[in-house]
Amino acid sequence: MDNYNLATYQELQRRLKERQEQISIGQSLIDGKLVCKELGIKYIPCEFSKNEMALVDAMYRQEKCKICNKHGIDCKNCFYVKVDEQAGKYFISYSNCERWKNYKQQEKINRLMEQSNVGKLFEGKTFNNFKILPATENAYNDCLDFCTNYIPKCRGLRLHGRYGCGKTHLAAAILNNLLKQNIPSMMIVTANLFDCIKQGFNDKEKALIATELVNKAKQVDVLILDDFGAEKDRDNSGKLKMVGSWERENLFLLINTRYENNLTTIITTNYNMQELFELFGERIMSRIAEMTKPVGMKGAENYRIRLAQAV
């Protein structure tokens, strides 16, 4: 328990003792049933009397958390009070604010992204500076709705369309929007993730960074994989070459971990679903099909060229 939490705990103990003295002479005016209802615990009269002040304080703190508008570093000295009831007794615990935990987690993700030299391209891309065209309007709305209505562990998106149609910009806009909501998120070009892992084969320091990066990708609330399958070519007959076994196995471990934990995953790709099955096989793509909602950008012109011509 840090100094802040210790001081608060000591203050709670002092107030609890003072309240117990009031209770002993019949001065309690607290509605115990109402307090317990707000905390989501069973009302036990004798236990409530013993812990009345701490329970009331916990109720007020939980209500304060619901309307708090602090973010990031401002949450450093905030903490959350949790109350459980087991075997007829109340157990009160104190933990760091969830927003502070998310801030620290995102800070670590950003450090890893910087160390691994991936992800800087996505800075500055927002919904406000995305140029909406007739062929991209529906995709824009779907992505914006995803952010507006985001809930943890919701189904992700699969943005698909031709090269340069604005998929990466929309995906990065999702990333930056979620970060403003204090939701731990990361976005990586799929080929860069593989390169980061390979760089660690003969470099222990890079291997540690790659391992930590992959572990975060497996655990982060929202993961965006950009240019999914873009590194592959076609053979002489025009058929797509299947992704190598090493890439497929590493990708499966990542996707399957997120699939089993119901974590939100978003991909951008130049390929349709049939082509993705050719590239990655059923084991990976059957999971991605279930994890993501298709968002097509068919018919969109080259977004990058359009932007360059507008300058």
CA 103 to the chain's CA centroid: 11
Spatial CA neighbour of 188 closest among 173, 208, 207, 168: 168
For the segment 213-222, what is each residue's pLDDT rounded down to a tens digit? 899 999 999 9
Q: Which pair of structure tokens corresponds to residue 186?
A: 């990361």
Same domain, 150 and 47: no
Q: Which amino acid is at 116?
A: S
Structure tokens at 292: 């993501």
Domain check: are 276 and 197 in the same one? yes
Task: Please give the average per-residue pLDDT across 28-34, as a whole number.
Answer: 73
Number of domains in the chain: 2
Neighbours of 234 (CB within 10 A): 10
Percent of the chain with pLDDT over 70: 80
Query: Is the same domain home to 190 and 79?
Result: no
Residue tagged 């991605």 (tokens) = 288
d(CA 11, CA 15): 6
Give CA–CA dist 204/111, Å, rounded. Answer: 18
The CA angle 202-204-206, to the nearest 5 degrees, is: 90
Query: Could you give the 3-state DSSP secondary structure of residue 6?
Result: helix
Please determine, for residue 225, whether its predicted confidence score (pLDDT) is greater than 60: yes
Write out the residue range of the structural domain in which residue 38 sits. Answer: 3-96
Q: Which two tokens stand for residue 185?
A: 């998120």
Neighbours of 304 (CB within 10 A): 14
* Choice among 80-89, 117-126, 137-146, 291-300 with the minimum mean pLDDT: 117-126
pLDDT band at 237 (very low <50, low <70, confident <90, very high): low
State the pLDDT at residue 300.
Answer: 62
The arithmetic mean of pLDDT across residues 295-299, rounded, is 83
pLDDT of residue 141: 97
Do 30 and 131 share a structural domain?
Answer: no
CATH (domain of 127): 3.40.50.300
Q: What are phi and psi of 285, to 5 degrees?
A: -75, -25
pTM listed for this prediction: 0.69
pLDDT at 113 over 70: no
Last residue of a domain, one of 72, 96, 120: 96
pLDDT over 50 at 311, yes or no: no
Q: What is the mean pLDDT of residues 237-261?
A: 88
What residues have CB less than 8 Å from 203, skipping those under 6 apart? none
φ, ψ of residue 287 to 5 degrees: the values are -70, -45
Is residue 87 within 8 A of residue 42, CB to CB? The reply is no
| Cα separation of the two ends of the chain | 55
My answer on whether 88 and 207 are in the same domain is: no
Query: CA 210, CA 69: separation in Å to the nearest integer?
Result: 35
- 63 plus 121 within the same structural domain: no
Q: What is the pLDDT of residues 168-179, one digit of tens each?
A: 999 999 999 998
Based on the fold, state whether residues 203 and 293 are members of the same structural domain: yes
Reported residue count of the chain is 311
Residue 33 φ then ψ, to 5°: -65, -40
Q: Is the pLDDT of residue 308 over 60?
A: no
Whether the per-residue pLDDT at 227 is higher than 80: the answer is yes
Residues 6+ apart with CB under 8 A from 32: 43, 45, 48, 49, 52
Tokens representing 112 are 């890893």
